[in-house]
Amino acid sequence: MSEPLFSRKNLKLLSDPINDSNPITVQVLGICSALAVTAQLKPSVVMALSVVAVMALSNVIISLLRNTIPNRIRIIVQLVVIASLVILVDQVLKAFVYDVSKQLSVFVGLIITNCIIMGRLEAFALGNRPWQSFLDGVGNAAGYGVILIIVGFARELFGSGSIYGFQIIPDSWYIANGGFYENNGMMILPPMALITVGIIIWVQRSKNRKLIED
Amino acid sequence: MDRNSNTYTFIYAAGMVILVAAILASVAMALRPLQNTNIEVEKMQNILASVNIESTAADAEEIYTERIQTQYVVNWQGEVVEGEDAFDIDLKKEQAKDLEERLMPVYECQTEEGLKYIFPMRGSGLWGPIWGFVSLDSDMNTIYGANFDHQSETPGLGAEISTDWFQATFSGKEIFNEQGELVSLTITKPGQDAPEEHKVDGISGGTITSKGLEEMLLSDFQSYSEFLKKKKS
């Protein structure tokens, strides 16, 4: 308990998953939702924030309970905690940002099956104190969220010519209006999300020496 | 207490379930009014969209009360049923009933181009329910506007029924043929043999959803047919 809240070790819990051990690009977890919700920036941002909330809270709760959880049903306990938090998030979205919750529809429910969350609970929260678990949760969810937002940004820009719903490409550029430009319909479809993630992984590996395998 | 004993495990699991159930139930109840308001506002927006009036979640209620001044419920013979609120009718429940007992809402909207009648519809797509509102001119034949939505159609394919460009192709189409029979619309691929005024181009890759939409229009217009004929003459 003598350790300061933001010691170097604790900060590393927060920053590591954003680059060196990013859940999507390095561990390749949580890909399914990364492909599904990123056709536009807005749902990507909301999904990222929802995952941050669910992940941080479930990590803290499991960490607080870690000395009471019966070993034989620990996976079930983790699942109950995640599922309840996801339902809470879903209810709150439905009440306060209805249009976004409609867009995310089933994907909010799918946070339950997001491998990153259970992976962190099992690997980290069960063996660490709440504060560290909180940082680890936020860090991993942020690492996931950052990739989601980059992919969402690229797909919305090239697929729909807008960013966060605001049109970026002028109308007069489009071929339909006598211009030279056409949105790339492929960007809207899930395969391009996978390819975008692939490009991000490529760029990251070429920049980050630690990730280069012999 | 031994954390690995059966008793401990059982008590732990039971306690956890009861606690979680209590929390979730109370949150759901506390947020229910807000969620219901959102659903109602969305319905108002959809009704307005079917007569080509744009609205946002913030001003929908105001525009709705201003523009949709008359709404009532009719039965299969086209008679107005008293004492029912059209807006509160649950289409899913009504469609499960026999036609003779069905309550069917009608909304009237005064637009710059005259009086329009709006009919709610509901059917099935590929994966789940689809629904919408279709508005007719006062000749009860020409479609003025349409708005469709769906629960879980495939994005980019069947889900396109909720896009503006698809809905825009409905306006101007006619649901009665020259002999005065209700033929509704055919939603099909271009080049298919059907009279132009009764045909809408379907969605490539969304054939089953398009067919579902076609059936929805036909069966729901049919259940309104007595009302339509009455108003027509």
Asked if A98 reaches chain B (Cβ–Cβ under 8 Å), the answer is yes
Flag whether pLDDT at A165 surpasses 80: no
Distance in angstroms (rounded) separating the CA atoms of residues A158 and A186: 9
Query: Which of A72, A84, A95 minimises the CB distance to B23?
Result: A84
| Per-residue tens of pLDDT for chain B, all 233 residues | 677 889 999 999 999 999 999 999 999 999 999 999 998 999 999 999 999 888 888 888 889 988 888 889 998 888 888 888 888 888 888 888 888 889 999 999 988 888 899 999 999 988 889 999 999 998 889 999 999 998 877 766 788 888 888 999 999 999 988 888 888 888 887 777 778 888 888 887 788 899 999 999 999 999 998 899 888 76
pLDDT of residue A102: 77
pLDDT digits (tens, 9 = 90+) for B117-151: 999 999 998 888 999 999 999 888 999 999 999 88
Q: How far is B8 from chain A (nearest CA, A)?
A: 7
**Nearest Cα residue in chain B from A71:** B4
In a domain, A14, yes or no: no
Separation CA B144–CA B33 (nearest Å): 34
The answer to whether residue A190 sits within a structural domain is yes
Do the domain assignments include residue A11?
no
Residue B31 to residue A72, Cβ atoms within 8 A: no
In a domain, A3, yes or no: no
- Quote the pLDDT of residue B111: 85
Candidates B3, B32, B127: best to mutate against A (most CBs of A within 10 A) is B3
The answer as to whether A7 is a domain residue is: no
Q: Quick check: A105 pLDDT over 70?
A: no
Q: Is the dihedral of CA A21, A25, A26, A31 positive or negative?
A: positive
Give A98's contacts in chain B (Cβ within 8 Å): 35, 38-39, 41-42, 57
Lowest mean pLDDT among A90-104, A135-149, B158-172: A90-104
Q: What does the CA dihedral A188, A190, A195, A197 come to, rounded to 10 degrees?
A: 100
Within chain A, residue ranges assigned H as helices are 8-15, 31-36, 41-65, 74-96, 98-104, 106-110, 115-123, 130-160, 190-207
Considering only alpha carbons, which residue of chain B is nearest residue A39? B155
Minimum CA–CA partner of B41 in chain A: A98
| φ/ψ (deg, to 5) at B84 | -120, 145
Indicate yes or no: CB of A72 within 8 angstroms of CB of B57. no
DSSP assignments along A30-90, one per residue:
SHHHHHHSTTSHHHHHHHHHHHHHHHHHHHHHHHHHTTTS-GGGHHHHHHHHHHHHHHHHH
Strands B104-111 and B114-124: antiparallel
Residue A210 falls inside a structural domain: no
SS (H, E, C) B32-81: HHHHHHHHHHHHHHHHHHHCCCCCCCCCHHHHHHHHCCEEEEECCCCCEE
B4/A71 Cβ within 8 A: yes
CA of B16 vs chain A CAs: smallest distance (Å): 8
Rank A177-191, A199-213, B8-22, B182-196 by mean pLDDT and report only the highest.
B8-22
Alpha-carbon distance values, A155 to A177, A181, A182 (Å) = 23, 16, 14
Indicate yes or no: CB of A77 within 8 angstroms of CB of B16: yes
* Structural domain span for residue A138: 30-201
Which among B9, B23, B41 has CB closest to A73?
A: B9
Give the distance from CA B160 to its chain's centroid. Answer: 15
Distance CA B182, CA A57 (A): 58
Looking up tokens 């929805």 gives B216
Q: How far is B186 from chain A (nearest CA, A)?
A: 27
Taking contacts as CB-CB distances below 8 angstroms, the residues of chain A near B27 are 88, 91
Residues of chain A contacting B17 with CB distance shorter than 8 Å: 80
CB contact under 8 A, A98 and B12: no
Is A1 within the bounds of a domain? no
To test the contact with chain A by mutation, choose from B38, B150, B165 the residue with the greatest count of A C-beta atoms within 10 A, namely B38
- CB-facing half-sphere around the CA of B48: CA atoms within 13 A: 22
Task: Spell out which residues of chain A touch residue B35, defining contact as CB-CB under 8 Å.
Answer: 91, 94-95, 98
Which two structure tokens, joined as six digits, stand for B153? 């159609």
Q: Is residue A164 part of a domain?
A: yes
Please indicate whether, in this complex, the C-beta atoms of A98 and B35 are within 8 angstroms of each other.
yes
Residues 99-158 of A with CB under 8 A from B: 99, 105-106
Asked if residues B127 and B108 have their Cβ atoms less than 8 Å apart, the reply is: no
Task: State how many domains chain A has.
Answer: 1
Lateral strand order in the sheet of B129-136: B80-81, B70-74, B104-111, B114-124, B129-136, B143-150
